[in-house]
Amino acid sequence: MQVAMVYSESGGVTKSTTATSLAMVEAENGKRVVLVDLDPRAASTHWLGVEPVGENLDVGAILGNEDPEGWARDLAVPSGWHDNLRMIPSARSVSIRESEQADYAELRLKASFAGLDADLVVIDCPNRQGGPLTLSALNASDLVIYAAKANEDGVNGVEGARLSVERFKTSQVRRGLPDTLREAGIVIGEFQGETIQRRIEKYAIAALEETGLLQYPLVPARSVVQEVRASHEWYGNYRKGAPVVDSYRELARKVFL
């Protein structure tokens, strides 16, 4: 089983769209996928329109329990989008886990994946700098995918996220633990400059290319992606969403090895 976190330290840079889209295209590709919404804003949860299996049995239940081994299997609910896609939802109350001080709390999410019948887990991370939520994702993941837009916020979000990842990896080495977290690439979503690029877009693309991590294609902006959120639908059901789906399918082949 492969575990991927989708991360940026800026908001509004298509992080949830990237996480949800990559999870869905891999489910359509035949993989058993679990999407974990670790963001208290619960954008992915709202988009898929899912409810937890019981009261307060969202991802916060895993993070707040001293021994959540195997809980992900029980808390993952059908998405309604595809038989291969399940989800562990989030809620605003998950934000209280940012003040968690218990020893080894950052390992609870990883422990919950024990026995999970999945080929791929995709974690939609909060745009936090460090903290228990981000540390939970870092400890649970095999690879990190950075989400960005072709603007200054996109660049800053990736820079901040990469710094947090580097600090985590350095900490692992100092503690004598294996450094196995792989940077799988940067995905630019909602790209507006398919025909004429603005100066800020050129700057952002150049800055992200310098990292050596920028993955192509750049995902084109299509209004249908935003339009379907309120109705809890997958934009891939619509002809106008096809260019976006095709882009994420090609990106999935590159980031998931």
Alpha carbon of residue 80 to chain centroid? 19
Q: What is the pLDDT of residue 102?
A: 67
Query: Measured over all CA atoms, what is the biggest interatomic distance in the chain, rounded to whole angstroms?
Result: 53
The answer, as to whether pTM is greater than 0.75, is yes
- What band does 71 get if pLDDT is binned at 50, 70 and 90? very high
Q: What angle do CA 253, 256, 257 make, to 5 degrees?
A: 95
Of 44-53, 99-108, 155-164, the least confident: 99-108
Counting residues of the chain whose pLDDT is more than 70, the rounded percentage is 97
Lowest mean pLDDT across 65-69, 117-121, 138-142, 246-250: 65-69
Fold of 2-255: Rossmann fold (3.40.50)
Least confident of 56-60, 130-134, 212-216: 130-134
| Residue ranges of domains in the chain | 2-255
Residue 103: per-residue pLDDT = 65
Whether pLDDT at 204 is above 80: yes
The DSSP output letter for 231 is T
Residue type (1 letter), 84: N
Question: What is the pLDDT, as a whole number, of residue 178?
Answer: 86
pLDDT digits (tens, 9 = 90+) for 161-193: 999 999 999 999 999 988 899 999 999 999 997
pLDDT at 129: 76
